[in-house]
Amino acid sequence: MAELPKVAIVGAGSVGCFIGGCWQAAGLPVSFIGREKLAEDIRANGLTLSDYTGWQTHLPDVDYRTDMAVIGECDIIVLTVKSADTAATAREIGARSRKGATIISFQNGVGNADMLRQELGDWLEIVPGMIPYNVAYLGGGRFHKGVAGKLFAEDRPETRRLAQAIGDGPAALSLSRDMLGLAWGKLLINLNNAVNALSGRTLLEELSEHDYRRVVAASQREGLRILRRARIKPKKVGAVAPSLLPLVIGSPDWLFNKLFLKAWKIDERARSSMADDLASGRKTEIDYINGELVRLADRLGTEAPVNKAIVGLIRWAEAGAKPWEPTALRREVLKR
């Protein structure tokens, strides 16, 4: 990999188009692999990327495809499909990729890298990654990063070279030797995704309501208890240590809205990816977030009533149930 690595983004939707677009803007050769609807849009409009700071760039020439033919030429494969699609997509990648190429998972949840190891471990180098920020598809080839944060990938020689090639910028790559800890830290933050989706509101609107935050805080407190029991140490993602998350999220409005919400730089359009899934009638990743804790609790012989209740409400919402008002959601989940 003496020259710039050739990158394929597989599952080029919100996150994939943003990351791949930023890396192309940084000078890397990037091919995007995704669905025909986005291919048409990007063919017509190119790719426009923006973020919450007002930064914007436009890429008129984008190699967006709907087949994997190019994958055999790529050094770095970035996987950005939803978790339920990981195994099937990995098999497609395995059939076409070059032995020894690197695949990085930028997905929510804690199990995608293991799934990739299972499907592709003897063929590709499997690298866990983590995406801390939100990306919204705004139509017309536009993708907007709505929350602050830096991408992470496991610290290895090939990711060090990649990070150097990308340089600084909105999709800069940081490296870590504790990706599993980061994945669990991110999962604790992602417990807000379901409440955001159930609220039917933007992240800012939802997080400014104390009753929604009380539900999130309770699911995080329960998550932390289960992780302690499993001897899993979640790592800090963002400004707040995992053990303090329930305290900060559950704090009263006068403190939370004035201090924390302002400092987090959340764009007023931003919603969680689970809210996007519900809005477009797709199955959510609930089984890989709150559901992961429910399964872990089960394996440990303990209970996860708050997260279990939230999984149930998301199932209803997937079947078409209406959004929840703050107090009604608090009463339904916390029974108080």
Ligand X SMILES: NC(=O)C1=CN([C@@H]2O[C@H](COP(=O)(O)OP(=O)(O)OC[C@H]3O[C@@H](n4cnc5c(N)ncnc54)[C@H](OP(=O)(O)O)[C@@H]3O)[C@@H](O)[C@H]2O)C=CC1
Task: Print the binding letters for residues 189-218 with ligand KPL: x by CB under 6 A, - otherwise.
Answer: xx-xx-------------------------
Least distance in angstroms from the C-beta of 229 to ligand X: 26
Residue written as tokens 């029991």?
A: 229
**Burial (CB count within 10 angstroms: exposed 0-12, middle 13-18, buried 19+), residue 53:** exposed
Nearest to 226 by CA among 191, 264, 262: 191
Least distance in angstroms from the C-beta of 194 to ligand X: 12
Q: Is 102 helix (H, G, I), strand (E, B) or coil?
A: strand
Nearer to ligand X, 16 or 223 (CB): 16
Q: How far apart are CA 182 and CA 211, in angstroms?
A: 27
Q: Is 103 helix (H, G, I), strand (E, B) or coil?
A: strand
Nearest to 107 by CA among 6, 9, 208, 199: 9
Nearer to ligand KPL, 31 or 192 (CB): 192
Number of residues that bind ligand X (CB under 6 A): 23
Least distance in angstroms from the C-beta of 102 to ligand X: 18
Nearer to ligand KPL, 5 or 34 (CB): 34
Least distance in angstroms from the C-beta of 121 to ligand KPL: 26
Find the binding residues for ligand KPL in span 250-279 (CB under 6 A): 272-273
Find the binding residues for ligand X in span 272-291 (CB under 6 A): 273, 285
Least distance in angstroms from the C-beta of 40 to ligand X: 13
Instruction: Decide if residue 131 touches ligand X (CB under 6 A).
Output: yes
| Paired strand residues for 175 | 153
Q: How far apart are CA 322 and CA 311, in angstroms?
A: 15
Q: List the single partner that 13 binds among ligand KPL, ligand X, none, CB under 5 to 8 Å by kind.
A: ligand X
Find the binding residues for ligand KPL in span 83-142 (CB under 6 A): 108, 133-134
Q: List the single partner that 14 binds among ligand KPL, ligand X, none, CB under 5 to 8 Å by kind.
A: ligand X
Nearer to ligand KPL, 81 or 147 (CB): 147
Phi/psi at 125 (5° precision): -80, 120
Stretch near ligand KPL under the rule CB under 6 A, chosen from 2-10, 87-95, 184-192, 246-254: 184-192
Which DSSP string do the residues of 141-166 spell out, in sequence order? Answer: TEEEE-S---EEEE--HHHHHHHHHH
- Angle at which helix 326-334 crosses helix 179-199, to 10 degrees, equals 120
Q: List the single partner that 78 binds among ligand X, ligand KPL, none, CB under 5 to 8 Å by kind.
A: none
Find the binding residues for ligand X in span 15-34 (CB under 6 A): 15-16, 33-34
Q: Which residues of 241-276 are buried (b: 16+ CB within 10 A; e: fewer)?
A: ebeebbebbbbeeeebbeebbeebebbeebbbbbbb
Q: Cβ(160)–Cβ(286) under 8 Å?
A: no
Least distance in angstroms from the C-beta of 10 to ligand KPL: 18
Question: For 231-252, what is the HEC assignment?
Answer: CCCCCCCCCCCHHHHHHHHCCC
Q: How far apart are CA 294 and CA 300, in angstroms?
A: 10
State which of residues 31, 108, 290, 307 lies at the interface with ligand X (CB under 6 A): 108
Nearer to ligand X, 33 or 309 (CB): 33
State which of residues 5, 11, 141, 246 lies at the interface with ligand X (CB under 6 A): 11
Nearest to 306 by CA among 214, 181, 227: 214
Find the binding residues for ligand X in span 62-81 (CB under 6 A): 80-81
| Site for ligand X, rule CB under 6 A | 10-11, 13-16, 33-35, 80-83, 85, 89, 92, 107-108, 131, 134-135, 273, 285
Positions in the binding site for ligand KPL (CB under 6 A): 108, 133-134, 147, 189-190, 192-193, 272-273
